[in-house]
Amino acid sequence: MIGLMAAIWPLIFIPLSIPAGFIVDKYGFKLAVSIGGALLALFSWLRLFASTNFYLLLLFQSLAGTSQPFIYNGITKLANNWFPENEQTLANGIGTMGQIIGMVLALVITPIMVPEPSFHDLILNIITFSLIVTISLLFFSLSLRRASHQLREELVRSSRSRASVLK
């Protein structure tokens, strides 16, 4: 049963990869990654409420797995849109490597967080870590939104001043 839990993510990735890629191409990187992030956050949190009910945990794990094609397929779009042609392959490689490093860190950190098998300690550690990550992501998301708004205002001011010089 644990093997099924581990295998569900790649099994879900395969059929959802093409539709997620279509959404990335048609609607853009930001929307696709936002969908993926929201799905991952929601169903990762819901996994905590599955407690010892394996089938409910498998359902939430499966639904969390629907997020990964949106995030993974967004890397290529990000590299193509944000980097010059001579840096796109490197950017794509770093993005892909980041996924693997994240998985390795999860495998290394989990035994450190829970040195002795204790369901209570495991849940407590997962909730603590999840809260830290969720709050950090909200903080950075809001900071990025403010910075983006300020940059947009600066660009508008700059274009207006150039237009007034040309008159």
- Which domain covers residue 155, as residue numbers? 117-167
Residue by residue, DSSP assigns 40-89 as HHHHHHHHHHTTT-HHHHHHHHHHHHTTHHHHHTHHHHHHHHHS-GGGHH
3-state secondary structure of 155: helix
- Domain count within the chain: 2
Question: Cβ atoms within 10 A of the Cβ of 138, count?
Answer: 11
pLDDT at residue number 158: 65
Please tell me the distance from the alpha carbon of residue 160 to that of residue 153, in angstroms, as a whole number.
11
| Residues 86 and 148 occupy one common structural domain | no
| Residues 86 and 161 occupy one common structural domain | no
| Residues 68 and 14 occupy one common structural domain | yes
> In whole angstroms, how far apart are CA 152 and each of 138, 141, 160?
21, 16, 12
| Residues 21 and 94 occupy one common structural domain | yes
For 75-118, the pLDDT digits (tens) are 888 888 888 889 889 988 998 898 889 888 888 887 887 777 77
Note whether 76 and 90 are within 8 A (CB): no
pLDDT higher for 72 or 165? 72
Q: Inform me whether the pLDDT recorded for 164 exceeds 60.
A: no
> Out of 24-38, 45-59, 120-134, which region has the weakest mean confidence (pLDDT)?
120-134
| Residues 125 and 82 occupy one common structural domain | no
| Residues 72 and 10 occupy one common structural domain | yes
| Residues 14 and 94 occupy one common structural domain | yes
> In whole angstroms, how far apart are CA 75 and each of 79, 82, 104, 121, 129?
6, 10, 19, 35, 25
| Residues 15 and 86 occupy one common structural domain | yes
